[in-house]
Amino acid sequence: MSSLDAFLTPPAPLELNSSSLSPTEGSDCVASNAKSAALVAPTDECRLTMPDIAGEGPFHFDQNATPRMFLNLRDPGSATPTPRPKKLADTMAQYATTWGHTLQLKNGHQDELIRASQIKDPNLQFLYIAGLIFSLKDEFALVRPADTAVAVPEHTEGHIERLTVRGILDPAASGYKTRPGEKAMQTLKKHPEWVPLALLEHKPTMKMIKTKVNGRFTHHRADIKDAISKSLGTFDALDQKFDGPFTPIMRLTAIVITEVGGRSCEVKMTIPLVARIAFLRNMYVAEAIKTLDGKVGGHFWDEVDQGLQKIRDTQNCDAVKISQVFGRILDDDRVKYQDLDAGEENLDELAEVDVEADYN
């Protein structure tokens, strides 16, 4: 019989023959029985409870009248306590941590999500979400669509080319590095027939147009610099001077106009333009003789702009005096780089102003 069988089978009642026992012996027997009952009786640590079956009590009799008893060894007093519910803040923080890991958030965003989970006030929650929305809106504004998604009308491309050619060949240009591009963009925006209003209000398209404008000016500057370099002939590194053969200034100006604007270029050769090309050749030589190969570097056009600014400053922006400075530069160029075999060029046949040069 197993150890549990003693508890499953109730002990048989003891029959006492009081007539055969003395009073003392009877009392000892009672005491002995009481002690045995105490050993059999369940303690607080192990108490038998017999649940009632409706209408039958703790015992259930089947058809053969065999009693069955249900055993419950668990002490009602030592039942498993109901766990204390977690605080809402702890639960939300745990959920935020799990959700952040699922989304594979970065550490900084993970911490921000946990902090957001602790916000209890609905008004503060609303402000927090609104702030995030505005932040995302600002970030989306920085997203730049691919250039291939933007199309510039063909007639707009034509006006860009026209403006950049006239801008780089403008004898009154105040600079060559940044100012021509800015002026061309301002002119484009003044003419909605050149750039449709829908494009003017579309930032990606205008950014592409600006890139095209600056790209054309870069190309034109390279053409001018290359033409001037060829006009000086060979370079003597020992003596740091150009030996020719030289290209006279009027012929050089015609070459520059063709190289920049093509054979059908609308720009006319004028005395101010010839003088400006002479100024550019003067600046080129000043920078080239500092080198070993007679080639100027990428800083050349910065030096040109600084030279123009120096002329304006020393002449107090007086148009007459500035014109006289360019006149002296032109005269010097004609002496240094003339073609003796072809004879002196005649400037008298040139106009003072290109009446079609206004592109504002």
For residue 140 the two structure tokens come to 């989306």
pLDDT, tens digit, 9 for 90 and up, residues 287-325: 999 999 999 988 999 999 999 999 999 999 999 999 999
- Length of the chain measured in residues: 360
Spatial distance between the Cα atoms of 60 and 69, rounded to a whole number of angstroms: 7
CB atoms within 10 A of CB 233: 15
Token digits of residue 354: 């290109």
Q: Is the pLDDT of residue 182 over 50?
A: yes
Task: Write out the E strands in the chain.
Answer: 59-61, 67-69, 234-236, 241-244
Mean pLDDT confidence for 73-84: 56
User: Which of the four pLDDT bands, split at 50, 70 and 90, describes residue 77?
Assistant: low
How many alpha carbons lie under 13 Å from residue 77 in its C-beta half-sphere? Answer: 6
Cis omega (within 30 of 0) on the bond before 245? yes
Q: Please write the tens of the pLDDT for every residue from 162-175.
A: 999 999 999 999 99
**Nearest 5°: CA angle at 51, between 45 and 54?**
170
| pLDDT over 80 (residue 61) | no
Q: What local confidence, expressed as pLDDT, does residue 2 receive?
A: 44
- Residue 275's nearest CA partner among 252, 241, 299, 247 is 252
Q: Which two tokens stand for residue 315?
A: 């002449």
Q: CA 10 from chain center: how many Å?
A: 84
Residue 207 has a CB neighbour count (10 Å cut-off) of: 14
Crossing angle of the two packed helices 249-261 and 154-168, in degrees rounded to 10: 160
Q: Which residue has the higher pLDDT, 7 or 251?
A: 251
Please check whether residue 195 is in contact with residue 213, taking contact to mean a CB–CB distance below 8 angstroms.
Answer: no
- Using CA atoms, how far residue 270 sits from 169, 172, 306, in Å, is 11, 12, 24
Q: Longest Cα pair distance anywhere in the chain, in angstroms?
A: 170
Q: Which residue pairs from 99-103 have beta carbons closer than 8 angstroms and sit at least 24 positions apart in sequence?
A: none
Q: Report percent pLDDT > 70 for the chain.
A: 70
Q: Is 262 left (phi over 0), alpha (psi -120 to 50) or beta?
A: left
Report the pLDDT value the prediction gives residue 88, as an integer from 0 to 100.
64
Task: Compute how many other C-beta atoms are within 10 angstroms of the C-beta atom of residue 36.
Answer: 12
Residue 205, pLDDT score: 86
For the entire predicted model, the pTM comes to: 0.59
User: Peptide bond before 76: cis, by omega within 30 degrees of 0?
Assistant: no
**CB-based contacts of 288, cutoff 8 Å, min separation 6:** 229, 232, 235, 242, 294, 295, 296
